[in-house]
Amino acid sequence: MVAPFVFQGQGRGVHRVKYWEKFKTFKERGEWVELQFMAAAAQRCFAVSKPWGDTKAYDVGIEHQGNYLRVQVKSTTMRSGAGYLCQFMPNHLKKCDYSLDQIDLFAAYVIPENAWYLIPAVLLLGKRRKWMAMLCPITMPKKKACYCYEGYREAWNLLKKNRAALLQCGPIRPTL
């Protein structure tokens, strides 16, 4: 996994370079984040596949013991309040929203913190559609309830579940 920062220069001229600022477009950054996710999943011994082109609603397929999960990969660098704001909506050029028939899991990467969130799609696309979420609190947030997905931080074990089990997932109380 590539660290999100590198240090360049010597002595007093040393400064942090942010990888994500080197990408010309959000699409380029998104492709890089998808590769980061695939590498992280493969390191954990999951079989990884990538659908050809941009015609599917999901970005990455994960196979484990006969189960196949469809994962939509998102990323954020948008600092807001005590953490980072991540959007869970399709590209503005796509006219249709995501559905539970298309996606099983969201993988959200908070790039500056090098943190992954694996969130069952039912929590974002279910009865009360959520378009964005606060992730990765850096300081103690004023409203802890805003960070209700902290229980899904680095939740790689969810990739071992089948679709039916993911549909049964509920909120995990944050331990902030």
**Better-scored residue on pLDDT, 126 or 46:** 46
Q: What letter does residue 8 receive in the DSSP assignment?
A: E
Question: For a pLDDT cut of 90, what percent of the chain falls above it?
Answer: 52
Res. 92 pLDDT band, cuts 50 70 90: low
Query: Residue 100 corresponds to which amino acid?
Result: L
pLDDT value of residue 72 = 96
Residue 102's H or E segment, with its range, is none
**Better-scored residue on pLDDT, 62 or 96:** 62
pLDDT value of residue 94 = 66
pLDDT value of residue 122 = 94
- Say how far residue 94 (Cα) sits from the centre of its chain: 19
**Dist. CA 110–CA 97, nearest whole Å:** 22
Res. 17 pLDDT band, cuts 50 70 90: low
Work out the mean pLDDT of the chain and round it to a whole number: 84
Q: What letter does residue 122 receive in the DSSP assignment?
A: H
Residue-wise pLDDT for 133-142, tens only, equals: 889 887 776 6
pLDDT value of residue 54 = 81
Q: Any alpha helices (H) in the chain, and if so which ranges? A: 26-43, 121-125, 163-167
Q: Which range among 7-11, 55-59, 88-92 has the greatest average pLDDT? A: 55-59
User: What beta strand segments (E) does 50-104 contain?
Assistant: 60-64, 67-76, 79-80, 83-87
Is CATH 3.40.1350.10 the right assignment for the domain spanning 16-167? yes
pLDDT at 10 over 90: no
How far apart, in Å, are the Cα atoms of 2 and each of 6, 24, 33, 98? 10, 19, 10, 29
pLDDT at 4 over 60: no
Res. 169 pLDDT band, cuts 50 70 90: confident
Domain boundaries, the chain: 16-167
**Dist. CA 36–CA 63, nearest whole Å:** 17
Question: For a pLDDT cut of 70, what percent of the chain falls above it?
Answer: 80
**Dist. CA 50–CA 172, nearest whole Å:** 29
pTM: 0.84
